[in-house]
Amino acid sequence: MFKIRKILLLLPVFLLLLIVLIIPPQKLIHLKSNFSIIFRGPLRIAYQVYLYAKNSKKIFSLYSEFQRLSEENQSLLFEVNQLKEMELENLRLYKIVDFKSVLEYKFVAAKVIGKEPSNWLDSLIIDRGITDGIYLNQPVMNFAGVIGKIIEVDTETAKVLLISDINSRVVVKIQRTRQEGMLEGLGRGLCRLKYLPPDAELKTGDVVVTTGMGGVYPKGLVVGKVEGVRIKQGESYKSCIIRPEVPLSDIEEVLCLKSDSGQ
Amino acid sequence: MFKIRFRTVRFVFIAYIVLIFQASLINLISFKNCKPDLVLLSVIFFGLYNGPRRGTWCGLGLGLCLDVLSSAGFGVNGVILGFIGYFSGLLQERVYATHFLTHILVPFAAGILQVFLYYVLAANFYRVLAISESLIFIAGYVAYTAAINIIFFKILDRLVILRTTKLTI
Protein backbone atom coordinates (compact mmCIF):
# COMPACT_ATOMS: atom_id res chain seq x y z
CA MET A 1 0.00 0.00 0.00
CA PHE A 2 2.80 2.33 1.04
CA LYS A 3 4.72 1.57 -2.15
CA ILE A 4 1.68 2.20 -4.36
CA ARG A 5 1.19 5.58 -2.69
CA LYS A 6 4.80 6.42 -3.39
CA ILE A 7 4.52 5.38 -7.03
CA LEU A 8 1.35 7.47 -7.38
CA LEU A 9 3.49 10.52 -6.65
CA LEU A 10 4.86 10.08 -10.15
CA LEU A 11 1.39 10.54 -11.64
CA PRO A 12 1.92 14.22 -12.65
CA VAL A 13 5.17 13.27 -14.38
CA PHE A 14 3.46 10.52 -16.36
CA LEU A 15 0.63 12.90 -17.23
CA LEU A 16 3.13 15.41 -18.57
CA LEU A 17 4.88 12.63 -20.43
CA LEU A 18 1.57 11.70 -22.04
CA ILE A 19 0.93 15.32 -23.04
CA VAL A 20 4.44 15.62 -24.47
CA LEU A 21 4.05 12.42 -26.46
CA ILE A 22 0.54 13.15 -27.77
CA ILE A 23 0.65 16.86 -28.59
CA PRO A 24 3.08 17.83 -31.38
CA PRO A 25 5.86 20.18 -30.16
CA GLN A 26 4.81 22.87 -32.68
CA LYS A 27 1.46 23.26 -30.90
CA LEU A 28 3.15 23.80 -27.54
CA ILE A 29 5.45 26.55 -28.82
CA HIS A 30 2.82 29.24 -28.18
CA LEU A 31 2.54 28.10 -24.58
CA LYS A 32 6.31 28.42 -24.22
CA SER A 33 6.26 31.87 -25.77
CA ASN A 34 3.59 33.09 -23.34
CA PHE A 35 5.61 31.99 -20.33
CA SER A 36 8.90 33.41 -21.58
CA ILE A 37 7.78 36.88 -20.48
CA ILE A 38 8.55 36.05 -16.82
CA PHE A 39 12.26 35.63 -17.59
CA ARG A 40 12.75 38.38 -20.17
CA GLY A 41 13.80 41.38 -18.02
CA PRO A 42 16.11 39.67 -15.52
CA LEU A 43 17.64 37.53 -18.27
CA ARG A 44 18.52 40.63 -20.24
CA ILE A 45 20.30 42.12 -17.20
CA ALA A 46 22.05 38.85 -16.31
CA TYR A 47 23.34 38.44 -19.85
CA GLN A 48 24.75 41.98 -19.83
CA VAL A 49 26.53 41.17 -16.56
CA TYR A 50 27.88 37.99 -18.20
CA LEU A 51 29.19 39.95 -21.18
CA TYR A 52 30.73 42.58 -18.90
CA ALA A 53 32.45 39.91 -16.79
CA LYS A 54 33.63 38.08 -19.88
CA ASN A 55 34.99 41.19 -21.56
CA SER A 56 36.71 42.39 -18.39
CA LYS A 57 39.01 39.36 -18.67
CA LYS A 58 40.26 40.73 -21.97
CA ILE A 59 41.20 44.17 -20.63
CA PHE A 60 44.85 43.24 -20.04
CA SER A 61 45.47 42.34 -23.65
CA LEU A 62 43.79 45.48 -25.00
CA TYR A 63 46.92 47.46 -25.90
CA SER A 64 48.56 44.73 -27.99
CA GLU A 65 45.16 44.02 -29.55
CA PHE A 66 44.83 47.73 -30.42
CA GLN A 67 48.21 47.75 -32.14
CA ARG A 68 47.42 44.61 -34.11
CA LEU A 69 44.05 45.99 -35.17
CA SER A 70 45.56 49.31 -36.27
CA GLU A 71 47.90 47.48 -38.62
CA GLU A 72 45.09 45.28 -39.85
CA ASN A 73 42.93 48.35 -40.37
CA GLN A 74 45.45 49.84 -42.80
CA SER A 75 45.48 46.76 -45.01
CA LEU A 76 41.70 46.43 -44.78
CA LEU A 77 41.18 50.04 -45.91
CA PHE A 78 43.22 49.30 -48.98
CA GLU A 79 41.15 46.15 -49.56
CA VAL A 80 37.86 48.08 -49.09
CA ASN A 81 38.83 50.55 -51.78
CA GLN A 82 39.54 47.72 -54.17
CA LEU A 83 36.27 46.01 -53.26
CA LYS A 84 34.27 49.21 -53.81
CA GLU A 85 35.55 49.29 -57.34
CA MET A 86 34.62 45.66 -57.80
CA GLU A 87 31.15 46.23 -56.32
CA LEU A 88 30.40 48.98 -58.81
CA GLU A 89 31.62 46.77 -61.60
CA ASN A 90 29.49 43.93 -60.25
CA LEU A 91 26.37 46.09 -60.12
CA ARG A 92 26.93 47.14 -63.72
CA LEU A 93 27.23 43.51 -64.75
CA TYR A 94 24.15 42.54 -62.69
CA LYS A 95 22.15 45.14 -64.60
CA ILE A 96 23.43 43.86 -67.92
CA VAL A 97 22.43 40.23 -67.23
CA ASP A 98 19.30 41.21 -65.21
CA PHE A 99 20.37 39.16 -62.18
CA LYS A 100 18.26 39.02 -59.00
CA SER A 101 20.41 40.92 -56.53
CA VAL A 102 21.28 39.70 -53.04
CA LEU A 103 21.11 43.32 -51.90
CA GLU A 104 17.34 43.19 -51.65
CA TYR A 105 17.74 41.95 -48.08
CA LYS A 106 17.51 44.28 -45.12
CA PHE A 107 18.62 43.66 -41.56
CA VAL A 108 17.03 43.83 -38.15
CA ALA A 109 19.77 44.16 -35.53
CA ALA A 110 19.18 42.31 -32.27
CA LYS A 111 21.00 41.80 -28.99
CA VAL A 112 21.55 38.37 -27.49
CA ILE A 113 19.89 38.19 -24.06
CA GLY A 114 20.31 34.50 -23.22
CA LYS A 115 21.81 31.20 -24.19
CA GLU A 116 20.58 27.63 -24.27
CA PRO A 117 20.59 26.50 -20.63
CA SER A 118 21.20 22.82 -21.38
CA ASN A 119 24.31 21.16 -22.76
CA TRP A 120 22.55 19.22 -25.48
CA LEU A 121 21.25 21.93 -27.82
CA ASP A 122 22.73 25.13 -29.27
CA SER A 123 20.41 28.12 -29.33
CA LEU A 124 20.26 31.80 -28.40
CA ILE A 125 17.53 34.13 -27.18
CA ILE A 126 17.43 37.55 -28.87
CA ASP A 127 15.59 40.71 -27.85
CA ARG A 128 13.51 41.12 -31.03
CA GLY A 129 10.18 39.52 -31.82
CA ILE A 130 7.11 39.67 -34.03
CA THR A 131 6.67 43.40 -33.35
CA ASP A 132 10.09 44.03 -34.91
CA GLY A 133 9.29 41.99 -37.98
CA ILE A 134 10.97 38.76 -36.93
CA TYR A 135 9.43 35.60 -38.39
CA LEU A 136 10.02 31.85 -38.34
CA ASN A 137 12.92 30.45 -40.38
CA GLN A 138 14.40 33.92 -40.79
CA PRO A 139 18.16 33.65 -41.39
CA VAL A 140 20.36 35.13 -38.67
CA MET A 141 23.95 36.25 -39.22
CA ASN A 142 26.48 38.89 -38.33
CA PHE A 143 29.09 40.60 -40.45
CA ALA A 144 31.39 37.59 -40.21
CA GLY A 145 28.94 34.96 -41.41
CA VAL A 146 25.88 32.79 -40.84
CA ILE A 147 24.75 32.13 -37.26
CA GLY A 148 21.49 30.22 -37.63
CA LYS A 149 17.76 30.68 -38.11
CA ILE A 150 14.73 31.68 -36.06
CA ILE A 151 12.85 28.69 -34.65
CA GLU A 152 10.56 30.29 -32.05
CA VAL A 153 9.21 33.80 -31.97
CA ASP A 154 6.96 35.73 -29.61
CA THR A 155 6.04 39.40 -29.46
CA GLU A 156 9.34 40.66 -28.04
CA THR A 157 11.87 37.82 -28.13
CA ALA A 158 12.90 35.02 -30.45
CA LYS A 159 15.01 31.86 -30.31
CA VAL A 160 17.77 31.24 -32.81
CA LEU A 161 18.81 27.70 -33.69
CA LEU A 162 22.56 27.88 -34.23
CA ILE A 163 24.13 26.15 -37.22
CA SER A 164 26.14 24.07 -34.75
CA ASP A 165 22.95 22.55 -33.27
CA ILE A 166 22.52 18.87 -34.04
CA ASN A 167 19.13 19.63 -35.63
CA SER A 168 20.44 22.27 -38.01
CA ARG A 169 20.83 21.53 -41.74
CA VAL A 170 22.19 23.92 -44.38
CA VAL A 171 23.03 23.19 -48.02
CA VAL A 172 26.48 24.66 -48.61
CA LYS A 173 29.36 24.52 -51.04
CA ILE A 174 33.11 24.82 -50.87
CA GLN A 175 33.86 28.28 -52.27
CA ARG A 176 37.07 27.22 -54.03
CA THR A 177 35.94 23.99 -55.69
CA ARG A 178 32.15 24.72 -55.91
CA GLN A 179 31.34 21.23 -54.60
CA GLU A 180 28.09 21.02 -52.65
CA GLY A 181 27.31 19.19 -49.47
CA MET A 182 25.06 19.19 -46.43
CA LEU A 183 26.22 21.04 -43.33
CA GLU A 184 24.87 19.62 -40.09
CA GLY A 185 25.49 20.68 -36.52
CA LEU A 186 27.81 18.65 -34.39
CA GLY A 187 27.11 20.43 -31.12
CA ARG A 188 29.62 22.36 -29.00
CA GLY A 189 30.24 25.05 -31.61
CA LEU A 190 31.27 22.81 -34.52
CA CYS A 191 29.62 21.53 -37.72
CA ARG A 192 30.16 18.66 -40.11
CA LEU A 193 29.98 18.91 -43.89
CA LYS A 194 28.63 15.64 -45.30
CA TYR A 195 27.79 14.11 -48.66
CA LEU A 196 30.74 15.55 -50.54
CA PRO A 197 31.82 13.49 -53.58
CA PRO A 198 34.54 10.95 -52.72
CA ASP A 199 36.95 12.71 -55.07
CA ALA A 200 36.28 16.13 -53.53
CA GLU A 201 39.43 18.10 -53.08
CA LEU A 202 39.50 19.64 -49.61
CA LYS A 203 42.08 21.75 -47.87
CA THR A 204 42.16 23.00 -44.31
CA GLY A 205 41.02 26.62 -44.37
CA ASP A 206 38.73 26.26 -47.40
CA VAL A 207 35.78 28.66 -47.09
CA VAL A 208 32.26 27.22 -47.04
CA VAL A 209 29.35 29.35 -48.31
CA THR A 210 25.58 28.90 -48.60
CA THR A 211 24.12 27.79 -51.93
CA GLY A 212 20.74 29.47 -51.59
CA MET A 213 18.95 26.13 -51.84
CA GLY A 214 16.34 25.28 -49.24
CA GLY A 215 14.85 28.75 -49.26
CA VAL A 216 16.10 29.85 -45.84
CA TYR A 217 19.60 31.23 -46.39
CA PRO A 218 20.42 33.46 -49.37
CA LYS A 219 23.21 32.44 -51.67
CA GLY A 220 26.85 33.23 -50.97
CA LEU A 221 26.86 33.85 -47.21
CA VAL A 222 30.04 32.70 -45.49
CA VAL A 223 29.40 29.83 -43.07
CA GLY A 224 32.81 28.66 -41.92
CA LYS A 225 36.13 27.07 -42.76
CA VAL A 226 37.25 23.49 -43.23
CA GLU A 227 39.11 22.30 -40.15
CA GLY A 228 39.71 18.61 -40.59
CA VAL A 229 38.87 16.07 -43.28
CA ARG A 230 37.42 12.70 -42.26
CA ILE A 231 37.12 9.68 -44.47
CA LYS A 232 35.18 6.91 -42.76
CA GLN A 233 35.53 3.40 -44.08
CA GLY A 234 32.40 2.09 -45.71
CA GLU A 235 30.99 5.54 -46.49
CA SER A 236 30.49 6.50 -50.10
CA TYR A 237 30.97 10.19 -49.42
CA LYS A 238 33.58 12.43 -47.89
CA SER A 239 32.94 14.54 -44.82
CA CYS A 240 34.85 17.21 -42.97
CA ILE A 241 34.67 19.26 -39.80
CA ILE A 242 33.72 22.91 -40.27
CA ARG A 243 34.48 25.63 -37.75
CA PRO A 244 31.85 28.37 -38.12
CA GLU A 245 33.25 31.74 -39.13
CA VAL A 246 31.35 33.35 -36.25
CA PRO A 247 32.57 32.17 -32.82
CA LEU A 248 29.17 30.91 -31.72
CA SER A 249 29.94 30.99 -28.01
CA ASP A 250 30.82 34.71 -28.03
CA ILE A 251 27.94 36.30 -29.89
CA GLU A 252 26.66 39.62 -28.53
CA GLU A 253 24.72 41.08 -31.45
CA VAL A 254 23.12 39.48 -34.47
CA LEU A 255 21.50 40.62 -37.71
CA CYS A 256 18.24 39.04 -38.81
CA LEU A 257 18.07 39.07 -42.58
CA LYS A 258 14.78 40.44 -43.82
CA SER A 259 13.67 40.00 -47.37
CA ASP A 260 11.67 42.76 -49.05
CA SER A 261 8.81 40.37 -49.51
CA GLY A 262 8.36 40.22 -45.72
CA GLN A 263 8.73 36.48 -45.22
CA MET B 1 -6.26 34.31 5.99
CA PHE B 2 -3.68 32.13 4.40
CA LYS B 3 -0.25 30.94 5.34
CA ILE B 4 2.89 31.37 3.35
CA ARG B 5 5.72 29.02 4.04
CA PHE B 6 8.67 31.35 4.08
CA ARG B 7 10.99 28.52 3.02
CA THR B 8 8.89 27.78 -0.07
CA VAL B 9 8.83 31.42 -1.12
CA ARG B 10 12.56 31.54 -0.64
CA PHE B 11 13.03 28.40 -2.69
CA VAL B 12 10.90 29.73 -5.56
CA PHE B 13 13.01 32.88 -5.56
CA ILE B 14 16.24 30.89 -5.54
CA ALA B 15 14.98 28.57 -8.29
CA TYR B 16 14.20 31.63 -10.42
CA ILE B 17 17.70 33.01 -9.89
CA VAL B 18 19.20 29.60 -10.72
CA LEU B 19 17.26 29.47 -14.01
CA ILE B 20 18.41 32.96 -15.00
CA PHE B 21 21.95 32.04 -14.00
CA GLN B 22 21.83 28.82 -16.04
CA ALA B 23 20.85 30.73 -19.19
CA SER B 24 23.49 33.43 -18.85
CA LEU B 25 26.25 33.65 -16.24
CA ILE B 26 26.94 29.90 -16.10
CA ASN B 27 28.77 30.29 -19.40
CA LEU B 28 31.55 32.08 -17.48
CA ILE B 29 32.52 28.76 -15.91
CA SER B 30 31.88 26.58 -18.95
CA PHE B 31 34.82 24.43 -19.98
CA LYS B 32 35.07 23.43 -23.65
CA ASN B 33 31.38 24.29 -24.10
CA CYS B 34 30.46 22.04 -21.17
CA LYS B 35 28.57 23.78 -18.39
CA PRO B 36 27.41 22.38 -15.05
CA ASP B 37 23.66 21.95 -14.66
CA LEU B 38 22.64 24.00 -11.64
CA VAL B 39 18.94 23.34 -12.30
CA LEU B 40 19.52 19.60 -11.95
CA LEU B 41 21.45 20.21 -8.73
CA SER B 42 18.62 22.37 -7.33
CA VAL B 43 16.09 19.62 -8.03
CA ILE B 44 18.30 17.00 -6.33
CA PHE B 45 18.81 19.30 -3.36
CA PHE B 46 15.11 19.97 -2.91
CA GLY B 47 14.25 16.28 -3.37
CA LEU B 48 16.85 15.15 -0.86
CA TYR B 49 15.66 17.55 1.81
CA ASN B 50 11.91 17.41 1.22
CA GLY B 51 11.02 13.92 0.04
CA PRO B 52 9.56 12.46 -3.16
CA ARG B 53 6.30 14.44 -3.32
CA ARG B 54 7.89 17.88 -3.19
CA GLY B 55 10.89 16.63 -5.13
CA THR B 56 8.63 15.57 -8.00
CA TRP B 57 6.72 18.86 -8.10
CA CYS B 58 9.91 20.86 -7.83
CA GLY B 59 11.45 18.86 -10.69
CA LEU B 60 8.35 19.31 -12.83
CA GLY B 61 8.16 23.04 -12.18
CA LEU B 62 11.84 23.75 -12.72
CA GLY B 63 11.92 21.46 -15.76
CA LEU B 64 9.01 23.25 -17.41
CA CYS B 65 10.63 26.62 -16.73
CA LEU B 66 13.83 25.26 -18.27
CA ASP B 67 11.82 24.19 -21.32
CA VAL B 68 10.59 27.77 -21.71
CA LEU B 69 14.18 29.02 -21.89
CA SER B 70 15.42 26.14 -24.00
CA SER B 71 14.83 25.25 -27.63
CA ALA B 72 13.91 21.72 -26.54
CA GLY B 73 10.33 20.54 -26.97
CA PHE B 74 8.02 21.77 -24.22
CA GLY B 75 7.80 19.22 -21.40
CA VAL B 76 10.95 17.23 -22.14
CA ASN B 77 12.96 18.71 -19.28
CA GLY B 78 9.82 18.74 -17.12
CA VAL B 79 9.49 14.97 -17.38
CA ILE B 80 13.22 14.32 -16.92
CA LEU B 81 13.61 16.56 -13.87
CA GLY B 82 10.28 15.30 -12.47
CA PHE B 83 11.71 11.78 -12.40
CA ILE B 84 14.99 12.99 -10.92
CA GLY B 85 13.17 14.96 -8.22
CA TYR B 86 11.16 11.87 -7.34
CA PHE B 87 14.16 9.56 -7.13
CA SER B 88 16.15 12.13 -5.13
CA GLY B 89 13.21 12.35 -2.74
CA LEU B 90 13.19 8.59 -2.29
CA LEU B 91 16.77 8.85 -1.09
CA GLN B 92 15.78 11.24 1.71
CA GLU B 93 15.46 8.48 4.29
CA ARG B 94 18.24 6.35 2.89
CA VAL B 95 21.24 8.67 2.74
CA TYR B 96 22.69 11.44 4.89
CA ALA B 97 21.76 14.54 2.96
CA THR B 98 24.57 16.55 4.52
CA HIS B 99 27.31 13.98 3.91
CA PHE B 100 30.14 14.96 1.61
CA LEU B 101 29.85 11.76 -0.45
CA THR B 102 26.11 12.29 -0.95
CA HIS B 103 26.90 15.69 -2.46
CA ILE B 104 29.09 14.01 -5.09
CA LEU B 105 27.59 10.60 -5.72
CA VAL B 106 23.89 11.56 -5.94
CA PRO B 107 24.45 14.27 -8.60
CA PHE B 108 26.76 11.88 -10.44
CA ALA B 109 24.07 9.17 -10.56
CA ALA B 110 21.37 11.76 -11.34
CA GLY B 111 23.48 13.14 -14.18
CA ILE B 112 23.74 9.69 -15.74
CA LEU B 113 19.97 9.16 -15.29
CA GLN B 114 19.32 12.57 -16.86
CA VAL B 115 21.42 11.77 -19.93
CA PHE B 116 19.73 8.35 -20.25
CA LEU B 117 16.22 9.85 -20.00
CA TYR B 118 17.18 12.63 -22.38
CA TYR B 119 18.33 10.17 -25.00
CA VAL B 120 15.19 8.04 -24.60
CA LEU B 121 12.76 10.98 -24.62
CA ALA B 122 14.39 13.60 -26.85
CA ALA B 123 15.08 11.12 -29.64
CA ASN B 124 11.30 11.06 -30.20
CA PHE B 125 11.22 14.71 -31.17
CA TYR B 126 14.53 15.70 -32.65
CA ARG B 127 17.93 14.38 -33.55
CA VAL B 128 20.38 13.67 -30.77
CA LEU B 129 24.08 13.13 -31.15
CA ALA B 130 25.15 9.47 -31.16
CA ILE B 131 26.29 8.37 -27.69
CA SER B 132 29.54 7.06 -29.17
CA GLU B 133 30.34 10.56 -30.43
CA SER B 134 29.55 12.35 -27.21
CA LEU B 135 30.65 9.86 -24.57
CA ILE B 136 33.63 11.95 -23.45
CA PHE B 137 31.46 15.05 -23.32
CA ILE B 138 28.79 13.26 -21.27
CA ALA B 139 31.41 11.94 -18.84
CA GLY B 140 32.89 15.42 -18.51
CA TYR B 141 29.47 17.00 -18.01
CA VAL B 142 28.44 14.53 -15.30
CA ALA B 143 31.80 14.82 -13.49
CA TYR B 144 31.83 18.63 -13.73
CA THR B 145 28.25 18.95 -12.45
CA ALA B 146 29.01 16.60 -9.53
CA ALA B 147 32.19 18.52 -8.69
CA ILE B 148 30.45 21.92 -8.75
CA ASN B 149 27.87 20.51 -6.37
CA ILE B 150 30.35 20.51 -3.48
CA ILE B 151 30.12 24.31 -3.44
CA PHE B 152 26.57 24.62 -4.77
CA PHE B 153 24.96 22.46 -2.07
CA LYS B 154 26.73 24.51 0.60
CA ILE B 155 25.36 27.74 -0.87
CA LEU B 156 21.82 26.33 -1.14
CA ASP B 157 22.10 24.88 2.34
CA ARG B 158 22.76 28.33 3.77
CA LEU B 159 20.08 30.00 1.68
CA VAL B 160 17.21 27.54 2.01
CA ILE B 161 17.54 25.25 4.98
CA LEU B 162 18.28 27.83 7.67
CA ARG B 163 14.84 27.60 9.22
CA THR B 164 11.19 27.14 8.45
CA THR B 165 9.20 30.24 9.23
CA LYS B 166 5.45 30.57 8.92
CA LEU B 167 4.11 33.97 8.08
CA THR B 168 0.50 34.70 8.83
CA ILE B 169 -1.16 37.33 6.71
pLDDT digits (tens, 9 = 90+) for B116-164: 988 888 777 777 777 777 888 889 999 999 999 989 988 888 876 544 4
What type of residue is B65? C
**What residue segments make up the domains of chain B, in order of their start?**
6-160
Suggest the residue from B28, B69, B121 to mutate for an interface test with chain A (most A CBs closer than 10 A).
B69
Q: Domain B6-160 carries which CATH code?
A: 1.10.1760
Q: Which residue in B26, B74, B90 is closest to A25 by CB distance?
A: B74
Q: What's the pLDDT at B166?
A: 47
Cα A23 to chain centroid, rounded: 28
A126 to chain B, closest Cα gap in Å: 11
User: Can you tell me the mean pLDDT for B86-94?
Assistant: 89
Boundaries of domain holding A192: 169-250
Alpha carbons within 13 A on the beta-carbon side of B90: 14
Count of the separate structural domains present in chain A: 3
Average pLDDT, chain B: 84
DSSP state, B34?
B
> How much is the pTM?
0.81
**Which SS3 state, helix, strand or coil, does residue A139 take?**
strand
Alpha-carbon torsion (B149, B151, B156, B162), positive or negative: positive
Return the CA Rg of chain B: 16
| A116 neighbourhood in chain B, CB within 8 Å | 23, 69-71
Q: What's the pLDDT at B130?
A: 75
Kindly report the length of chain B. Answer: 169
A139 with A173, same domain?
Answer: no
Please state, in angstroms and rounded to a whole number, the distance separating the CA atoms of residues B123 and B126: 6
Lowest mean pLDDT among A70-74, A259-263, B44-48, B97-101: A259-263
**Complex ipTM > 0.90:** no
pLDDT digits (tens, 9 = 90+) for A47-87: 989 888 888 877 777 888 888 888 888 888 888 888 888 88
Suggest the residue from A29, A39, A58, A119 to mutate for an interface test with chain B (most B CBs closer than 10 A).
A119
Does B83 sit within 8 Å of A10, measured CB to CB?
A: yes
Q: Angle at Cα A128 formed by Cα A168 and Cα A116, nearest 5°?
A: 45
Kindly report the length of chain A. Answer: 263
pLDDT band at B3 (very low <50, low <70, confident <90, very high): low
Q: Which of residues 17-56 of A touch B (CB under 8 A)?
A: 17, 19-21, 25, 28-29, 31-32, 35-36, 38-39, 42-43, 46-47, 49-50, 53-54
Task: Give the residues of chain A that fall short of pLDDT 50.
Answer: none
Q: What's the pLDDT at A213?
A: 86
Please state, in angstroms and rounded to a whole number, the distance separating the CA atoms of residues B8 and B46: 10
